């Protein structure tokens, strides 16, 4: 019986120790997951020459808000730098159309 009490006490202490040493969960930085933030990151990455990373940022901004014209401008720049003039023109036209819609409201 004495052995069982020690075993239970040891098990409880181990669980407590493991729980105390476990990493705390990180809070979500949802305020960073905005179109404005992703476009800013995309512009910074473009300036650094990281075109693929910038593309991901602009694409995420477009996913979050399909009516956010700066995301389309960024995508237009990326496609232009990649040499895809047709896609670049398409995204730039979309950005201009969104701006026109915004000003007509």
Domains along the sequence of the chain with CATH: 39-104 (1.25.40.10)
List all residues 6 or more positions away from 61 whose beta carbon is below 8 Å from its beta carbon: 35, 36, 38, 39, 42, 68, 70, 71, 74
Give per-residue pLDDT as tens, 8-27: 666 665 555 555 565 554 44
SS3 content of the chain, % helix, strand, coil (to 5): 80, 0, 20
Kindly tell me if the per-residue pLDDT of 100 is higher than 50.
Answer: yes
pTM over 0.85: no
Which residue, among 19, 24, 89, has the nearest Cα to 75 in the 3D structure? 89
pLDDT at 7: 66
The predicted structure's pLDDT at residue 9: 62
Per-residue pLDDT tens digits for 20-73: 565 554 444 677 899 999 999 999 999 999 999 999 999 999 999 999 999 999
Spatial CA neighbour of 78 closest among 35, 36, 37, 47? 47
Q: Does pLDDT of 105 surpass 70?
A: no
So what's the pLDDT on residue 19?
A: 56
Cβ partners under 8 Å of residue 70, min gap 6 = 35, 36, 39, 61, 95
């Amino acid at each position: 019986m004495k052995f069982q009490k020690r075993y239970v006490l040891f098990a409880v202490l181990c669980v407590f120790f493991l729980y105390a040493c476990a990493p705390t969960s990180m809070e979500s930085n949802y305020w960073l997951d905005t179109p404005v933030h992703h476009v800013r990151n995309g512009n910074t990455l473009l300036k650094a020459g990281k075109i693929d990373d910038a593309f991901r940022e602009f694409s995420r901004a477009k996913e979050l808000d399909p009516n956010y014209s700066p995301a389309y401008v960024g995508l237009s720049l990326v496609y232009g730098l990649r040499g895809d003039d047709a896609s670049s023109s398409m995204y730039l036209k979309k950005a201009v159309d969104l701006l026109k819609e915004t000003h007509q409201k």
